[in-house]
Amino acid sequence: MADVTYLEALRQGLWEEMERDPSVFILGEDVGAYGGAFKVTEGFAKQFGEERVIDTPISEAAIVGAAAGAAHMGMRPVAEMQFIDFISCAYDMLTNYVATARYRAGLATPIVVRGPCGGYVRGGPFHSQNPEAAFFHTPGLKIVYPATARDAKGLIKASIRDDDPVIYLEHKWLYRRIKEQLPEGEDLLTPIGQARLAREGKDLSIVTYGATVWKALEAAEQLAKDDRLSVEVLDLRTLLPMDDAAIMRTVQKTNKVVIVHEDTRTGGIAGEIAARINEQAFEWLDGPIMRVTAHDVPLPYAPTLEDFVLPQTEDIVKAARWLAAY
């Protein structure tokens, strides 16, 4: 067992899959010689050669489109978006071409599109986005969003092995901030479509994913100490397909739920989760379903602005406290 950061765990997962399967290759901007903007692929070109770690032009649509073409031929490409904000440049390719390929044409398109997402890092409007909601609406795609080092590794490996296209969202605030002991020499896989109970509780549930898992855990700790509240935290890990069963289990257990995400509110994932709870566990609710999210503005740069716009631990505490007293 060794202490491994979220970023290193992701790196290990990629490396192991490259070693295991010669059809896996990486393409993206500055991923080769430079090793990627965040050094996720540092050393890969040297180890696996430039043919398997391809530096591309600044062309997100071509990166995803070429990955799709290669995937049809039996390859398993991993496409890096230098910042996930730029995935919108490949929106057409992902939603129209890639996502529909199996359904309309019976074409397997096992690609992974991954990249650093998320805020709390003073990145401003174009280096902080959380794009999940834009793709969540598209049948044919899968979306995973690890919160832990273990899942960073387990989900990249599972995504590469999955026979369908997967968008893998990695939170840059977590890259070097969290560490975990991971077993060595073990094939660590996190099944796609399964949530993880990050903390058990009985009074109230927080359903969340990504960086806000850590904010929710902080809030739960604070609520336990200050309010003697027992808060359960569910880390979704996969957004599409969503683990409805795990959500309903926690709702049925605590009867009160706060949904937390870093992305903006309107049309966000929380709305869909709330709708599913309404459809599947309405009778179990003892209070309104709460949402704690970013405000509906582009993410600003200044620390005072960003901290205000993004959901903070204190916001979760306040919402949970209100709901617990309902």
Partner 1 sequence: MVSRAAPTTQAPPAPAGLTRDQLLEIYRYLRLTRTLEERLVALYRQSKVIGGLFRSLGQEGESVASAYALQRGRNRDILSPLIRNLGSMLVMGAQPIQILRQYMAKAEGPTRGRELNVHFNDLERGYLGQISHLGDMVPVMAGIALTFKLRGEPRVGLVYIGDGATSTGTFHEGLNFAAVQRVPLVVIAEYNRWAYSTPPEKQFAVRDLAEKAKAYGVPGVTVDGNDVLAVYEATRFAVERARGGHGVHVIEVKTYRRKGHAEHDDQHYVPKDELDWWAKENDPVDRYVKRLLQGEWAEERELRTIDAQVKTEIDEATDACVDEPLPSPESALTGVYADPPGTPRHWYRNL
Q: Which residues bind partner 1 (CB under 8 A)?
A: 25, 51-52, 54, 56-57, 59, 61-75, 77, 92-93, 96-97, 100, 102-108, 139-140, 142, 162-164, 241
Task: Name the minimum Å distance from CB 125 to partner 1.
Answer: 22
Task: Name the minimum Å distance from CB 253 to partner 1.
Answer: 23
Q: Is 72 a catalytic residue?
A: no
Q: CB-wise, 107 or 189, nearer to partner 1?
A: 107
Q: CB-wise, 55 or 218, nearer to partner 1?
A: 55
Task: Name the minimum Å distance from CB 154 to partner 1.
Answer: 17
Q: CB-wise, 114 or 142, nearer to partner 1?
A: 142
Task: Name the minimum Å distance from CB 126 to partner 1.
Answer: 18
Q: CB-wise, 65 or 300, nearer to partner 1?
A: 65
Tokens 């993206």 — which residue? 28
Query: Which residue among 127, 137, 261, 295 is the active-site one?
Result: 127
Active-site residue list: 127
